[in-house]
Amino acid sequence: MQNLLDNLLFQARQNPLPIPTYAQDVTIWHHMSDALHQSLYRVLTLLIAVLPGILAFFVALLIFAVAGVVISWILRRCLTWAKFDLRVARKGGADWAPSSSPTGIVARVAFWACVLLGLLIGVSAFDASYATGTALPISLLPYLTHAVGAALLLIAGILIARFLARSVLISAVNAQLQYARFLSLGVKWLVLVLTAAMVLDHLEVGGNIVELAFGILFGGIVLTLSLAVGLGSRDLVSRSLESHVEHAAERTHIPEETNSSASSIRHF
Amino acid sequence: MATANQIPADTSVADHVTADLVVFVPAMPVEQFKGVLTSLEAAFSAESTIVATQNELPADAKTSLRIILTPQANPLWMLKAGDFIAAAQSGLDHEARTILILGPGADSLSSLALRSMADAVSTASVDLVVPHYSLPPHAGLINSAILYPLTRAVFASRVRFPLSLDLGLSARMAERLSAAARRIPASNQGETLLWPVNEAVAAGFTMDEVDAGSRAMPQPSDPDTNSILAMITGSLFADIESKAALWQRPRRTPPIRRAAPEAAQSDGSPDVARMVAAFRLANDNLQEIWSLVLSPNSLLMLKRCSVLEPADFRMPDNLWARIVFDFLIAYRLRTINRGHLLGALIPLYLAWVAGHINVIASGTPAERHIEAVAAAFEADKPYLVARWRWPDRFNS
């Protein structure tokens, strides 16, 4: 009898009876609920940690922008009272346009300096609240600074592209090249493509794909320009070069006899 | 300074002597310098004249004139700011009442012209004497198109060649020009232009012109006409901008005092079609830039001009005046980059030249057309003053 009981106990330990199903469902839902609650808690914690920083950023920016307006107004009144424009004009000898007078320039510089200072202080406040908040795997601030740098890069690239395009256009027109506008557009898009690649690289977006695409695109544009100028419009180029040589030959020099007649033009 | 090895024994070297006349001769080729010395010997007495020059006296040159060597400078095809400093200093050192500056190519000037210039300063007490050259109709076109009409309208001066290569100066005029040149940084004095006529008007000094006959005009060694045109026009624009407080006052242009000398005849006709083609190309490609500078009315008139045949091409005088004034305003306001602005003016200038050549070919004397252009500039000066004072308004 004892041996039978021992055997039954041993088998029970080796083969435990399964838990009923209704008990398993309760546990799964409980775990899911726990997971959702924990996720919600983490997000709310993140927001609570970051929100004061964001608010501090906007408040700092607003305060310093208002301060900039006040300082700019005070500076404008003081410099106008001191006849600053007149003193500068006397010293520099130039007549200033009303929209770009020295007083206006100083006032605008003061305003934007205050705005920039507010921006720096706001970013610093955001960084402080972010650092003392929760330890998050995502690093936002470095990406934010990269984004600002990328924006500046984009603006500079666009300005340079426009300047170079206009320079090439005017020079090509004065050189009487028929494809002046084509050259100008080509230069503009070359610079813009280069700028876009630099911006994406700065933002660390795309990686090698961007580099490869840029190389292909840039090389394609350069090759297209070369083919168009060298092969597709070689007649135009040769005519332009011939006319340039003729024009150089027509250029006047000091005549040996002062009363010699000339059918050529002397601009000077 | 002079050395005994280079100067012949019969030519005295004067370092600290006085003279009535100092003639400043900047760097020029040797043959030209010899010609200048010959003309000066025929025009002036050696006792009352000193020649201050940057040129070494050639070994085979024999002259009775007193010659002083001044510091060397890089030669340029026209007078530069440093030349005025050197000339004024020479005049001051020798207590001269009359200073002549003779630019490159002055060997083609007659002795009579040199004498007239000096006499106007010494006898008639004129502060600035500018020669009136007799040039072929197709020469000096930048002066005819821009420099003379603009200077006449803005500064009320009838001087035909405001950027003359030769000048007669009184002592105070030389000092005034030297002071203006010294305000320019030393590194730029070898390239920067001065505008003596504008300085004389600003100072309230007297001016006069003398007939100088024909003269050989030196051409720039750099064949890039476009950049030189931009340099000269930009320099005049900058000078006008610096004297804005002066020329906005009402001024009356002095009456014509002498008839213009007969210009030399020229054969043939330059290639107008090429210039018209350049203008049309610019009209097709530079509308975006011109629209930032010119009024809609001017753009419309340019569009109408672009469809004219080369043989019939004309640019109306009032349109050209309005274009130059608009570019002057844009230069001051920095509407676009100044280099781009002056580059965009070049095709319009070529269009004016093409029209001018056609006008001459039709039988109208060149000087009559140039005077008509200058009159158009004068008539439109109120527009310039209005836009200068109120640049945000666009009065067409």
Cβ count near A139 (within 10 Å): 9
Sheet arrangement for strand B21-25: B66-69, B49-53, B21-25, B98-102, B166-170, B128-133, B207-213
- Using CB atoms, pick whichever of A97, A176, A248 lies closest to residue B333: A97
- HEC letters along A29-90: HHHHHHHHHHHHHHHHHHHHHHHHHHHHHHHHHHHHHHHHHHHHHHHHHHHHHCCHHHHHHH
Contacts of A263 in chain B (CB under 8 A): 138, 266-270
pTM over 0.80: no
Contacts of A178 in chain B (CB under 8 A): 281
Q: Which distant-in-sequence residues (6+ apart) come within 8 Å of B264 by Cβ?
A: A259, A261, B134, B135, B136, B214
| Whole-number Å distance between alpha carbons of A252 and B384 | 35
Residue from B356, B51, B366, B212 nearest A258 by CA: B212
Interface contact flag, A266 B334, Cβ < 8 Å:
no
Interface contact flag, B281 A243, Cβ < 8 Å:
no
Interface contact flag, A264 B343, Cβ < 8 Å:
no
Using pLDDT thresholds of 50, 70 and 90, give the confidence band for residue B14: very low
Contacts of B353 in chain A (CB under 8 A): 265, 267
Backbone dihedral region of A15: left (phi > 0), alpha (psi from -120 to 50 degrees) or beta? beta
- Interface with B, mutate which of A162, A174, A254 (most B CBs under 10 A): A174
CB B6 within 8 A of CB B56: yes
B191-204 tens-digit pLDDT = 788 999 999 999 99
What's the average model confidence in pLDDT over B286-297?
94
More confident residue, A90 or A120: A120
Q: What structural domains does chain A harbor?
A: 139-250 (1.10.287)
Q: CA nearest B266 in A: which residue?
A: A261
| Whole-number Å distance between alpha carbons of B72 and B25 | 11
H or E stretch covering B48: none
Interface contact flag, B228 A167, Cβ < 8 Å:
no
CB B170 within 8 A of CB B126: yes
- Using CB atoms, pick whichever of B77, B289, B343 lies closest to residue A174: B343
Residue A264 forms contact with B (CB below 8 Å): yes
Q: What are phi and psi of B32, to 5 degrees?
A: -65, -40
B255 class by beta-carbon count within 10 Å (0-12 exposed, 13-18 middle, 19+ buried)? exposed
Q: How many CA atoms lie within 13 A of A46 on its CB side?
A: 11
B375 class by beta-carbon count within 10 Å (0-12 exposed, 13-18 middle, 19+ buried)? middle
CB B197 within 8 A of CB B84: no
pLDDT at B250 over 80: no
pLDDT at B354 over 70: yes
Q: Kindly give the residue spans of alpha helices, DSSP state H, lying in chain A.
A: 2-14, 21-81, 84-92, 102-132, 141-174, 180-202, 208-227, 234-250
Q: Which distant-in-sequence residues (6+ apart) come within 8 Å of B79 by Cβ?
A: B26, B101, B103, B165, B167, B193, B194
CB B373 within 8 A of CB B145: yes
Interface contact flag, B277 A176, Cβ < 8 Å:
yes
- Using CB atoms, pick whichever of A93, A248, A254 lies closest to residue B218: A254
H or E stretch covering B179: helix B171-182
Contacts of B105 in chain A (CB under 8 A): 254
In chain B, % of residues over pLDDT 90? 56
pLDDT at B380 over 90: yes
Interface contact flag, A265 B136, Cβ < 8 Å:
no
Residue B133: helix, strand or coil by DSSP? strand
A8-65 tens-digit pLDDT = 777 767 766 655 555 555 688 898 999 999 999 888 888 887 788 888 889 999 999 9
The alpha-carbon gap from B358 to the nearest alpha carbon of chain A, in Å, equals 13
For every residue of B90-130, DSSP letters joined together read HHHHTT-SEEEEE-TTGGGS-HHHHHHHHHHHHTS--SEEE
User: Can you read off the two tokens belonging to residue B120?
Assistant: 């106007």
pLDDT score of A233: 64
- Interface with A, mutate which of B219, B226, B235, B348 (most A CBs under 10 A): B219
pLDDT score of A16: 62
The alpha-carbon gap from B94 to the nearest alpha carbon of chain A, in Å, equals 32
What size, in residues, is chain B? 396
Residue in the structure block whose two tokens are 């998050």: A136
Residue A173 forms contact with B (CB below 8 Å): yes
Q: What are phi and psi of B168, to 5 degrees?
A: -110, 125
Q: Which distant-in-sequence residues (6+ apart) come within 8 Å of B222 by Cβ?
A: B228
Residue A235 forms contact with B (CB below 8 Å): no
More confident residue, A202 or B345: B345
- Interface with A, mutate which of B133, B154, B243, B281 (most A CBs under 10 A): B281
Residue B66: helix, strand or coil by DSSP? strand
A244-263 tens-digit pLDDT = 676 565 543 333 333 333 34
pLDDT score of A262: 39
User: Can you read off the two tokens belonging to residue B85?
Assistant: 């400093």
The alpha-carbon gap from A175 to the nearest alpha carbon of chain B, in Å, equals 9
More confident residue, B258 or B139: B139
CB B131 within 8 A of CB B161: yes
| Whole-number Å distance between alpha carbons of A219 and A22 | 68
Interface contact flag, A169 B140, Cβ < 8 Å:
no
Residue A243 forms contact with B (CB below 8 Å): yes
B212 class by beta-carbon count within 10 Å (0-12 exposed, 13-18 middle, 19+ buried)? buried
User: Can you read off the two tokens belonging to residue A135?
Assistant: 């330890």
Residue B88: helix, strand or coil by DSSP? helix
pLDDT score of B13: 46
Q: What structural domains does chain B harbor?
A: 21-247 (3.90.550.10), 272-389 (no CATH)
Interface contact flag, A261 B268, Cβ < 8 Å:
yes
Q: CA nearest A163 in B: which residue?
A: B337
B230-245 tens-digit pLDDT = 999 999 999 999 999 8
The alpha-carbon gap from A97 to the nearest alpha carbon of chain B, in Å, equals 6
Using pLDDT thresholds of 50, 70 and 90, give the confidence band for residue A104: confident
H or E stretch covering B144: none
What size, in residues, is chain A? 268
| Whole-number Å distance between alpha carbons of A162 and A157 | 9
Residue B353: helix, strand or coil by DSSP? helix
Residue A263 forms contact with B (CB below 8 Å): yes
Least trusted range by pLDDT, from A101-105, A257-261, B304-308: A257-261
